[in-house]
Structure 1
Amino acid sequence: MNEFSTIRSVPAAGSSSQTDGSGAQSDEDLSAGSMPHSIEAEQQLLGAILTNNDVFDRVAAIIKAEHFYDPVHSRIYDIASSRIAKNALASPVTLKAFMEDDQGLKELGGPSYLARLAGAAISTFAVRDYAQMIYDLAMRRQLIVLGRDIASKAATVDVASEPREQIVEAEQQLYRLSEQGQTGSGFQTFLTAVTDAVNVAAAAYQRSGGLAGISTGLTDMDKKLGGLHRSDLLILAGRPSMGKTSLATNIAYNIAKKYRKLEDGTTDGGVVGFYSLEMSAEQLAARILSEAAEVPSEQIRRGDMTEGEFRRFVEAAKQLEACPLFIDDTPALPISQLAARARRLKRTHGLDVLIVDYLQLVRPATAKDSRVNEVSEITQGLKAIAKELDIPVIALSQLSRQVENREDKRPQLSDLRESGSIEQDADVVMFVFREEYYAEREKPSDDRLEEMAAWQERMSRLHGKAEVVIGKQRHGPIGTIELSFEGRFTRFGNLARPHQVDQAGF
C-alpha cells in the first residue's frame, strides 16, 4: 500500500467503506450501498500530472473530470487540464491559488494535500493504466445507477410509462454511456466549447476545399453549406418527380464511395445509413447502380442491356460491394425505433450520415390529436438523433399542392406540409426544383408555330438543369444552387460553368 493509505483522511463522496488492495470495492461493500472506486489510482494519476504535465496528453483521451469518484480529485483534474490546455504550468503551487477556498480540499488538509499528491507519485509510466482503471470504475458506477433506475421504473406500474418506451430509453442511455462515458450531459465550461469550435475550424482550414463538414460530392452545394455538419438536421423537400430521392441517393453514394481512413486518424467520406420507407432496398440499389454504371434504371429492371452496358453494370456492382452504405426499408417505422436502429448501426459499423426517405412516412411514438403534433414529434426526434449521434441527418419531405396553383412553381418555406415544426426544428431547409418538368407539360400544339419555337428555345435552355433552393440555413447564407440532372440515370451532378467549358476547349 502506498503513502496515501495513511494520509487519506476523508472517504470520497461520504463513503465510509474500505477498499481492497487494488482500491476497488469488494462485493460486501457494494451490497452495503457504496460504489466501486479506487482512491489510490486517482491520487497516483493526479500526482503524476502535477509532477510532469506532459503526462496529461497520455490520459486526456481516456478520462474526463467527471470520471473521478472523489469530487475534490475531479476539481483538481479539471483545473489542471484547463491550465495545461493554455500551455500554463499545473503544479501544487499554481493550483493552490485556485483552490485555497475549496471546502473539500480543506477537509483533506488544505493546499498541502496538493504537495503530498505530487510527492507520493511513484512513477509516470503506469499513468495510462491508472486512467483506464479510473474510467472503468466510473463506467461500473454509471451502470449500477442506470440498472437501479431501470429496475425502479419497471417496478412502477404507470399507464403513462409503457415498457416499450422504457426499453428505448434504457437503450439510449446505454448507448450514450458506451460512446461518451456518461449517461447524461450537463453544463460544460466555455473553454471546452471554444476548444471544440477551434478544432472544427482547424479541420476545415486543413482540409482541401475548406469544408468543415462531410462533402456531398456536389461542389456548389458544398460551397453553400460548407459540407454536411455534425448534429445538423437538413430537410430536403420537393414535389413528386422533382428528384428528392435521386438527389439523396446521389449524396449517399458520393459519401460512401469516398470512405477511407487517412494516415492522421481522420476519415474521408463516411458510413451512410439510409431509411427507405417508400422504396424497397432492391429498388434503391437499382437507382444507385444506374448512376454508377450509367445505365438507365428502366433497362436494369427489364434486363435490356447491351454487352458493354452489362459489363459496366457488373463492374459497378463489384465496386459498390465495399461501400459502407446500409439500407433499412422497413415501412412505417416509429421515430423511437428509427433512433434505436441508428444507435445500433453506429455501435456496430459506425455511422457518419443518416438519410430518411421520407419524413411523412415516419410514425410518431404515440398517436397524437393532430397531424401537426405528430410531425412535430418526428422532427424533434430526428434533431435529437442528429445531436445524440453527432451526425448530420437528412430528412426528405413532401410539399403541399399549393405549389401547383401558383404561376411561379419555385417552392418556398410555406409550402412545407405541416411547415411550422419542420421549419423550426431544421438547421437547413432545401428544395429540389426542376423547371424543365413543368415546361414539358406546357407544350403548345404543333400548329402554333411561334409559341412552339419559344417553347423549344425554353426547353433547350432548361434541359438537363436542376436547382436546389436553400430556404433556410441557420449557420450560413440562403440562395440557389444550380446542378446538372440526367434523368436517364437519375443522377445529379456539378454544372459546368462557361469559363470551365472554355478552358476545356469545347
Structure 2
Amino acid sequence: MSIEAEQYVLGALLQNHELMDDCYLQPNDFSPDGPNRMVMKTLRWAHENLTGQPGIKNPFDILALTERYSKTIGMAGGPSYLMGLKNSVPTLANFGFYQQLVRKASIQREASQALKDALQAGDVDLTLIKEKMDRLQELQSQGIADGWERISDVLDGHHKEIMDRGSRSGITGAKTASEDLNEMGGGHQSGDLTIVAARPSMGKTAYIVNDSKESAMAGYTVGMFSAEMSSKDVAERYICALSGIDARKVQKGRLTENDWSSYDKALDILDMLPIYIDDTPGMTIEYIWRQTKAMKKKYPKLIIYVDYLQLIESEKKFTQAADRVDHVLKQLKRLAKTFGVPVVAISSVGRKCEERNDKRPMMSDLRESGNIEFAGDVIIFLYRDDYYYPDTPMKGFIELIVAKGRKIGTGTIQMFFNRKNGRFANLTKDDKEQLREKVAEYEQTARNRKR
C-alpha cells in the first residue's frame, strides 16, 4: 500500500505543483527501492529553483523537467513514468490522506532500521527506538487521515465557550477600533485574514494604529510589520492618536506645555501596551512567518498587522507583481490559520474608483493587485468623502465599508476621523442621527438646485 500511496502523492504533485506548499514529505520519506525517491528529489529541486522564474508557469511540467534534469529523470523511470503517475490520480481531494500513509511507512522503516542497526552493533539504543515507535503510534492514533476530527471532539467544551462569549459583551476576538464593527463580528477572529484597503491619504495606517491600540488594550500582543514606515514614524502615530497632539507639531518639535503633558501621558500608556514593531527593510513573507512563529511561542494571545501588502517581498522569484501579491496573500491566510492568530493587512486600491461619480471603492477595484477579493475573510474599504468634496456634510467623518464578511455580513460604518492627530472615534446614537439628518438635508438641497 505504501508504494501506491507514494505514487498517488507524486501524481498529485505533478497535476498541481501548488500542493507542494502543503507537502511536508522529503525524498527520504519515500521507499529506497524503485524510482519514487528520485522523483520526489527532482520535484523538490524544481520547486525550490524554478518556481516564479521568468517564463515558467508550471515548474513540474514534465517536458521542462526532462529537459532540465534529464539524468535524474532517466534514473527516476523517464518521462513515461512521470506521465503515468500524473494520469493515475483521479482526484486531488485525498492528498492529505495519502501523504500521511507515506509518512507512516517512512517512520516504520526508520524504527525497523534503528532496531536492526542496534542489534548488529550489539548496542541497543532503546531511547531512539522508543522515540520512533511513539511517533508512529501518535500518527496511527490520529485515525483515518491527517486533519480529520470527530465532531464530538470539536464540540468538546463548546457550551462553556458560548457562555464565555456572552460574558465578554459579544467580543470573542481581538477588539477593533470600531464598536459597531465589534458588534458585527465580535472583533478580529483567530485564523481570519482581514484586508483594510483604500486609496492613498484615506487613513489606512492611522486606522490600524487605532485598531491595534484597542487590541493591545484588550490584552492582545500586537506584532506590527511595517514595510512602508520606520518604527519611529509608526510610534509617533501611536503617540499622536493617544495624546491628541497635531502630528505636524511632533514632526517640527513645537510642542506647548499642555502638549508635553499629553505626550507624557501617552508615553506612559504605550509603555504598558504589548506592541512590537518590525520595520526590517525588504521584509519577505517568509520572514514574517518566522517572526510570527517565534512571537506565538512567547505570546499566545497574538494579533498580526501588515503595512502594507503590496510592499511585502518573497524569497521566491516572481516576474509579475500580481503573482507575488497572490503568493503573499495565500501565505498570510495560511499563517493566520496555522498559528491561530488574526491577521490584518493593509492593501492599496487601484485608481479606477476615482473615475466614477461615486468614488467609494468596490471589490472589483482590488483586481489590479491579484486575488485579494477572494483571499480575505473580511474586506474593509476606507473612504473619506471630504477628500474629494470639500463641501460634503461628511466632513471629519470616515466610512468603514465592510464589503465582504465571510461570517459577519456586510455594511457601512461611520466614524469620526481627526486627520491632524490620526485619531478615530466612535459615533454615539445621537451623532449618527444628526449625521443622517445633515446628509438628507444636503441631498435635498442638491436635488432642489437641479430643478
Equivalent residues in 2 for 1:198-237 (5 A)? 198=159, 200-207=161-168, 209-237=169-197
Displacement of 1:419: 5.0
Contact 1:201-1:212 at 8 Å conserved across structures: no
Q: Which residue of 2 aligns with 1:398?
A: 348
Q: Does 1:242 align with 2:218?
A: no
Matches within 5 A, 1:87-106: none
2:329–2:375 contact (8 Å) kept in structure 1: yes
Give the direction of change, closer, same or farther, for the CA distance of 1:199–1:69 in structure 2 (3 Å limit): same
Instruction: Say if 1:310 and 1:187 are closer, same or farther in 2 by CA, change over 3 A.
Output: same
Aligned to 1:189: 150
**Cα-to-partner distance string for 1:88-137 (whole Å, 9 max, x where unaligned):** xxxxxxxxxxxxxxxxxxxxxxxxxxxxxxxxxxxxxxxxxxxxxxxxxx
Deviations, residues 320-348 of structure 1 (Å, cap 9, x unaligned): 11210000011221111111011112223
Give the match for residue 345 of structure 1: 295
1:66-465 equivalent positions in 2, closer than 5 A: 74=141, 186-195=147-156, 198=159, 200-207=161-168, 209-259=169-219, 270-440=220-390, 455=391, 458=392, 461-465=393-397
Q: Does the 8 Å CA contact 1:200/1:212 hold for their aligned counterparts?
A: no
Q: Deviations over 1:290-318 (max 9, x none)?
A: 01111111101212111111011012112
Give the drift of 1:70: 10
Displaced runs of 4 or more, over 6 A: 13-17, 499-502
Separation (CA, whole Å) in 1 of partners of 2:204 and 2:190: 21
Counterpart in the other structure of 1:466: 398
Residue identity matched to 2:129: S
1:420 deviation in Å? Answer: 4.7
Separation of aligned partners in 2, 1:272 and 1:408: 35
Contact 2:210 2:423 in 1 (8 A): yes
* Structure 1 position 497, deviation (Å): 2.3
Tell which structure's C-alpha radius of gyration is larger.
Answer: 1
> Does the aligned pair in 2 maintain the 1:30–1:36 contact within 8 Å?
no
Q: Is the 8 A contact 1:354 1:394 kept in 2?
A: yes
Rounded Cα–Cα distance in structure 1 between residues aligned with 2:422 and 2:183 = 23
In the TM superposition, residue 362 of structure 1 has moved relative to its aligned partner by 0.4
Rounded to whole Å, the distance in 1 between the matches of 2:411 and 2:157 is: 29
Shift of 1:387: 0.7
Checking the alignment, whether the CA contact within 8 Å between 2:175 and 2:218 is kept in structure 1 is: no
CA pair 33-413 structure 1, distance change in 2 beyond 3 A: same
Letter in 1 for 2:401: V
- TM-superposed CA distance for 1:417, in Å, is 4.7
Q: Secondary structure at the match of 2:129?
A: coil
Provide the C-alpha distance between the structure 1 equivalents of 2:293 and 2:368, rounded to a whole number of angstroms: 27
Asked if structure 2 preserves the Cα contact closer than 8 Å seen for 1:290 and 1:297, the reply is yes
Using structure 1 for the length normalisation, give the TM-score: 0.58
**Other-structure match for 1:498:** 430
Shift of residue 500, structure 1, vs aligned partner: 8.6
RMSD: 3.2
Distance 1:316 1:220 in 2: 25
The alpha-carbon distance between structure 1 residues 200 and 232, as it changes in their structure 2 partners (threshold 3 A), is farther
SS state at 2:156 partner: helix
SS of the equivalent of 1:488 reads coil
Given the alignment, which residue of 116, 125, 128 partners 1:30? 125
The one-letter amino acid paired with 1:214 is: A
CA distance in 2, matches of 1:435, 1:279: 25
Mapped to 2, the partners of 1:411 and 1:186 lie a distance apart of: 38
In 2, distance between residues paired with 1:426 and 1:278? 21
| Distance (Å, rounded) in 1 between the aligned partners of 2:139 and 2:181 | 50
Q: Match of 2:147, SS? A: coil
Whether the aligned pair in 2 keeps the contact of 1:471 and 1:479 (CA below 8 Å) is: yes
Rate the CA distance shift 1:67–1:344 in 2: closer, same or farther, 3 A: same
* CA 1:35–1:288: 2 relative to 1, 3 Å: same
TM-score relative to the length of structure 2: 0.65
The aligned residue for residue 440 of structure 2 is none
Aligned-partner residue type, residue 36 of structure 1: E
Take 1:38 and 1:413, find their aligned partners in 2: how far apart are those partners?
A: 52
| CA distance in 1: counterparts of 2:332 and 2:239, whole angstroms | 28
2: distance between equivalents of 1:69 and 1:392? 29
In structure 2, C-alpha distance between the alignment counterparts of 1:351 and 1:217, rounded to whole Å: 18
Asked whether the equivalents of residues 197 and 379 of structure 2 are also in contact (C-alpha less than 8 Å), the reply is yes
> Per-residue displacement from partner, 1:349-395 (whole Å, max 9, x unpaired)?
44521000000000123112322221111000000110111011000
Percentage of identical aligned residues: 29
Counterparts of 1:42-57 in structure 2 under 5 Å? none
Q: Which residue number corresponds to residue 17 of structure 2?
A: none
Query: What's the CA shift string for 1:64-88, capped at 9, x where partnerless?
Result: xx896696xx59xx9xxxxxxxxxx
